Amino acid sequence: MHASPDSFSVRRRGFALLLVIVVLGFLVLIVVTLATHLRIEQAVALRRFQVEQARRHALTGLSLAVGQLQREAGSDRQSIAGAPMLGAVAANKTHWVGVWGPDGNTPRWLVSSSDPDQPNPLSLAYAQPVTLVGSASAEVSAGATNDPDQVRVDLIAVTVPAALVPGWSEAGDPVIGRTAYWVGDESGKLPALLRDERSALVGEAPPNPWTALDLSALWGGFDLHATGVQGALAKVVAYGQLGYVDSTAFSAARLRRNFHRVTVVSRSVLSNPAGGGLKQEGQPDGSRAYGTAEAPRYDEQFYIRNPPTGTDPDHLPVALFSVHRANGVVPPSAELSGPRASARLLIAGGINLNTVSDDVTIQRERWRAILSAARTVRFPSGEQRTLSSGELDALASQLTALRFRAAYPDVGKAAFAPFGGVGQFARSGLLQAAIDATMINQGRTALSPDRIDQADLLATLAPILLVRSDTFLVRAYGEARDPFRAESLGEAWCEAVVQRLPDYVDPADDPWAAPVSVDNELLGRRFVVTSFRWLTAADL
């Protein structure tokens, strides 16, 4: 039964084969493991690169937005309004912002456009839309594509020369990504945050209309002026932080509902939209004369001090200011008063009266809040009258979008165009017509001491009313694409607050003086990014 030499040899060969297979299997395992490891590392590196590329394209969108703002809205003599100024627009274009020149002609829209030469993109159907404000930011139904609080804009292709993409043989330059941007109007919103930095600096605490501004209807009756709330409000630097002040009043649902209605970042330049240049600090020569058709100085002058002896100091409008620190440097106190102080100050807040809405509730709530700032009217006689809630509601109801879109040929305002100045708004008599349409002066004659006319309201409101906007919220989108397969490789979103300042683009010119530099003539006053954050899809 001994194994023959032949069978022994066969067994040995079998063992060798087994050994070879085991060794080969082991080697294959090592190679597969290494290959997998390398593939994972490569995928991670590629993913990082694609996200970075998408972010670069989002930043390109942001740069385009700031560039367009500078080009279209840098000059003092511009009016700014939302798309509803033109009447009916597609719901998801409601929050597009347009810039009208002094001639009141066709506006330029501050959004990315697939056809930049098209004068009125509002009339175009979207070619390749992307959502920049959706259900996480505003009151938008999930999955909606045409909601009034939603913002959609068209994508712009990002291309590179064909020579930069090896293997590219198709016609046209390869598309390596897409970008889009939307410029939102912060000055068209009601300001919820009001700090008087100037008062803190120079020890002056002037009365101002903001202290009476009543936004409680927007926040379920919450009083923003209540003791204990102001300290928390002063810490708010981003809209979403309002939820930390009071989680019930500023609930997530209310924050979404008021996303397009309330701001915490708006500041405005004291510029003259009617004649250009900065406003000059002046002294009113008669409280009631301020705000009449004969003294249309709303656009030319502003007031930061109590009036000369003999007038009623409480009657005078004193807006709330914020110090403009050029390069972060606090200007000397001497520069914060006097005729040229407008180069060193910004209005904290400021409300663009050209912002209108066809949503009756929104329009009424907005004007109800604005008018509340002038609720207590003080007359030259020393008497004062406080408008009741019903009277404010009635007056607010009369200030409909329709009235703002109407033509006022006597003062040079065309239909479907914004007002070109607060003076023009006053002279149009729109506010007076609204007063006359209510019963607030019922039983009073023209000589009654407590009869309210528009001059009485504008005396308080004019310093905080604007016809343009100086603070904008920009949202930009970036996408990296595979040019060969036309597939998306990564997406990114960013958001920035962009502020117009009194300084010119070219610092060679004094902000106070008329521009000498050609750049300043063309581009006007400087825009800077004052806040920036990356967003995720969950933030939109």
Partner 1 sequence: MKRDENRKRSGFTLIELLLAASITAVLSGILVITVVQILGIWSRSGGAVAATGEATRILDQLAQDLDAAVLRPDANSWLVGTVQRDQSGVGDTGMTDADWTGLTKPAGVASLRLGAGDLRIDQLRFGQAGLWLRFFTIEPDANDSATNRSLPRAVAYQIVRRRSGARHAYQLFRSQVRPGGTNSTFSSGYDLLASAYVTPNGSEQHPGNIRRPNARFLLGNHVIDFGARIFVQGAGGATTLAFPFSAEAGQSFVATAGTSSIPGYASRPVVRGWPVTVQVMVRILTEEGARLISNLETGRVAVPAGQSYDSYWWELAEAHSLVQVRTITPRARVP
- Binder among 118, 376, 384, 531 for partner 1 (CB under 8 A): 531
State both tokens at 514.
């008329």
Helix axes 389-398, 360-372, angle to 10 degrees: 130
- The least CB distance from residue 152 to partner 1, in Å, is 21
111-140 binders of partner 1 (CB under 8 A): 136
Pairing of strands 262-263, 190-191: parallel
Say how far apart CA 443 and CA 457 lie, in whole Å. 19
State both tokens at 488.
């998306």
Q: What is the largest CA-CA distance in the chain?
A: 139
Say how far apart CA 21 and CA 26 lie, in whole Å. 8
Count other Cβ atoms within 10 Å, centred on residue 388.
11
- Binder among 496, 511, 520, 525 for partner 1 (CB under 8 A): 496
What track of x and - describes contact with partner 1 for positions 202 through 241 (by CB under 8 A)?
---------------------------------x-xx-xx
Interacting stretch for partner 1, rule CB under 8 A, among 186-194, 379-387, 392-400, 492-500?
Answer: 492-500
Contacts of 196 (CB under 8 A, 6+ apart): 205, 206, 208, 320, 321, 322, 348
Contacts of 498 (CB under 8 A, 6+ apart): 65, 66, 69, 183, 471, 472, 473, 474, 527, 528, 529, 530
48-107 binders of partner 1 (CB under 8 A): 48
**Residue 46 touching partner 1 (CB under 8 A):** no
**Residue 325 touching partner 1 (CB under 8 A):** yes
**Residue 249 touching partner 1 (CB under 8 A):** no
- Of the two residues 9 and 146, which places its CB atom closer to partner 1 in the complex? 9
**Residue 47 touching partner 1 (CB under 8 A):** no
Q: Is 66 helix (H, G, I), strand (E, B) or coil?
A: helix
Report yes or no: 491 and 180 within 8 Å, Cβ to Cβ.
no
Classify 87 in phi/psi space as left (phi over 0), alpha (psi -120 to 50) or beta.
left
**Residue 247 touching partner 1 (CB under 8 A):** yes
- The least CB distance from residue 325 to partner 1, in Å, is 4
- Binder among 139, 173, 197, 358 for partner 1 (CB under 8 A): 197
- Of the two residues 240 and 276, which places its CB atom closer to partner 1 in the complex? 240
- The least CB distance from residue 413 to partner 1, in Å, is 32
Interacting stretch for partner 1, rule CB under 8 A, among 145-153, 244-252, 359-367, 428-436?
Answer: 244-252
- Binder among 15, 244, 386, 514 for partner 1 (CB under 8 A): 244
Say how far apart CA 19 and CA 23 lie, in whole Å. 6
Pairing of strands 301-302, 280-281: parallel
**Residue 530 touching partner 1 (CB under 8 A):** yes
384-423 binders of partner 1 (CB under 8 A): none
- The least CB distance from residue 196 to partner 1, in Å, is 13
**Residue 37 touching partner 1 (CB under 8 A):** no
Q: What share of the chain is helix, strand, coil (3-state, %, to 5)?
A: 35, 20, 45
**Residue 327 touching partner 1 (CB under 8 A):** yes
- Binder among 160, 295, 330, 406 for partner 1 (CB under 8 A): 330
- Of the two residues 247 and 381, which places its CB atom closer to partner 1 in the complex? 247
- Binder among 341, 345, 501, 523 for partner 1 (CB under 8 A): 501
194-225 burial, b at 16+ Cβ within 10 Å, e below that, comes to bebbbeeeeebebbbbbebbbbbbbbeebebe
Q: Is 100 helix (H, G, I), strand (E, B) or coil?
A: strand
Contact set with partner 1 (CB under 8 A) = 48, 136, 197, 235, 237-238, 240-241, 243-244, 247, 252, 323-325, 327-328, 330, 496-497, 499, 501, 507, 528-536, 538-539
